[in-house]
A and B are shown apart, each in its own frame.
Chain A
Amino acid sequence: MSGDPPALSNVAYDDLVVDERLGPFTETVSADLAGRLAGAIGTPSVVSLAPPAVFPVLFLHALRRAMGGIPAGSVLAKQELEFHGTLEVDNDVEITVWVGNKEVKRGRPFVTIEFDIRDGAGEQLVTGRKIIVWRTGPVAEASAA
């Protein structure tokens, strides 16, 4: 990962700004990365196109760079991916992420993170979103916990 941001961040729910675009962040999809995500996780294989499991990984790379680390203690609840094109390995992509929504449901803080991944020519490859249970809720609820 370029830039080596911290592994974890403690961005508070209250500090998340909805619709603020972060990036684009440039990431390289190497043959090694793609090959280790094509079959059993971590097992090398030879591929010419990025398998679908590459894109959640790219999202995490961008999220880590956007938020100064992976949000500590967060838990993935839902995930959606829309595929618009394919990517040959050993190419760069540009990733933009933003908070699409945040809300408290049944007492739990849910944050929707949107992402948009494009190739070097600006063509859209994958869009999607993750709905994450944030570790900290609004201040009033966090202090009551």
Chain B
Amino acid sequence: MAATEPFPRVVDDVTQAGIDAYAELSGDFNPLHVDPEAAAASEFGGIIAHGPIALQSFLRAATEWLGVEALPAGTSVAVVYRAPTRPGDAIAAEPRSVTEREDGRHDVEAECVKQDGTTVVSVRAVL
């Protein structure tokens, strides 16, 4: 693992096209993601992105930081979804703490934050 540089800040722009692409890739056509009328009638009041879309900026930052395409054996990611992500949002992965462990891996706490400062995802990872 590299991980000698500061944890990078990656920003993902959330678009309806990206949400539609994720629906196609995952097969998850939950109306909350792809049906504006049904989503408007829901408790969310409009389209929300699939949860993993809000996490994508962190996963991109983690692989970039480690200098890998795939997270290696022994790593883990635990996520709490705090708030919905919607088309038009820009989601940035922001590290809160990075602590090196005795085994050379790192405990990383991070948040994925919207442009207005709202935390949409809290992350605890071992990288």
Query: A residues engaging B (CB < 8 A)?
Result: 1, 7-8, 33, 36-42, 47-53, 56-57, 60-61, 64, 70, 72-87
Contacts and interface: CB of A to CB of B under 8 A. Distances in A.
Nearest to A74: B30
A51 B21 contact: no
Contacts of A1: 27
Given A41-B21, A76-B51, A85 B12 contact: no
Contacts of B42: 73
Nearest to B34: A7
B21 A78 contact: no
23 contacts: A33-B25, A38-B69, A40-B13, A41-B22, A50-B70, A52-B62, A53-B59, A56-B26, A60-B27, A61-B26, A61-B27, A64-B27, A70-B28, A72-B30, A75-B32, A76-B50, A79-B52, A79-B55, A81-B76, A82-B75, A83-B72, A83-B76, A86-B72
B17 interface: yes
CB-CB nearest 8 A-B residue pairs: A42-B21, A76-B51, A49-B70, A86-B70, A60-B26, A49-B69, A7-B29, A56-B52
Nearest to A126: B71
Interface residues of B, number: 40
Nearest to A56: B52
B77 A73 contact: no
Nearest to A87: B70
B29 A70 contact: yes
Given A40-B56, A52-B59, 8 more contacts: A40-B18, A42-B22, A51-B63, A57-B22, A60-B27, A73-B32, A83-B70, A83-B75
Nearest to B80: A78
A51 B69 contact: yes
- The secondary structure that dominates the A interface is loop
A2 to B, nearest CB: 11
A41 B73 contact: no
Interface string B14-49: 000110111001111111100000000010000000
Contact of A36 (B20, B21, B59, B75): B21
